[in-house]
Amino acid sequence: ACLYGTADCADRVHADGALVDQWLASERWLLERTQRLEALRAWKEVIPTSADSIENYALVGGKIFVQYLHNVNTRLAIFSAEGKPEGEIKLPGIGTASGPSGEWDSPVGYYSFTSFTTPPVIFRYDVKANKSKEWARVKVPFDSEAFETKQVWATSRDGTKVPMFLVHKKGLKLD
């Protein structure tokens, strides 16, 4: 057992992290933890928090690209190196994107997009022009233009809004 206030307790917590969030009576541990908190206070927030979850980020062409999950859809936001919002990469529709990938000092990045009706597509993104161009597409014997995807919301018994996607032939009357 780990007894509070003993060096043995601090060593065990240090080794396996099992009691990190419980009260730790070892001055050694508290001092180390305090030093870590002081280091965190020196950190600077570059991208502010948002209601959307950050899935990934990339540093391309002198910009910061942040991949968010917004209502179960991907959103690719663009920020300056200082964290100032500069817009978004317009995606072809409702779906999932990843990236962009590239180099900090390169004006070009690449990202992929896929959806229920769109096979994977890779886009070349020109950072300076803020333009995307299709670079590669998986060829499949499927006419994705004949279908559409709509996002709708249902309300569960407890009042929680639940997102759903309807994928159907274009022009289908929904009832």
In this predicted model, what pLDDT tens digit does every residue of 27-42 receive, in sequence order? Answer: 445 555 566 667 767 7
Split at pLDDT 50, 70, 90, the class of 11 is very low
Eight-class DSSP state of 175: -
Q: Which two tokens stand for residue 88?
A: 């978004």
Sheet arrangement for strand 53-60:
53-60, 63-70, 73-79, 85-89
pLDDT in tens, 53-81: 899 999 999 999 999 999 999 999 999 99
Can you tell me which residue has the tokens 């709509």?
Answer: 150
**Looking at residues 160-169, what average pLDDT do you find?**
93
How much is the pLDDT for 64?
Answer: 92
User: In the chain, pLDDT over 90 holds for what percent of residues?
Assistant: 59
Indicate whether this model's pTM tops 0.85: no
Reply yes or no on whether the pLDDT at 14 is more than 90: no
Q: Residue 34 has what pLDDT?
A: 61
Greater confidence, 24 or 87? 87
- What per-residue confidence (pLDDT) applies to 165? 93
Cα gap 17→11, rounded to integer Å: 10
User: What whole-number percentage of the chain has pLDDT above 70?
Assistant: 78
Supply angle C-alpha 24, 27, 33, rounded to 5. 70
Which residue has tokens 């995606």?
91
Q: Phi and psi at residue 128, in whole multiples of 5°?
A: -65, -40
Q: Is 84 exposed, middle or buried (0-12, 13-18, 19+ CB in 10 A)?
A: exposed
The CA angle 152-154-157, to the nearest 5 degrees, is 175
172 vs 94, 113, 116, 166, CA distance in Å?
18, 25, 17, 11
- Which residue, among 122, 126, 103, has the nearest Cα to 112 in the 3D structure? 122
In this model, does residue 126 exceed pLDDT 60?
yes
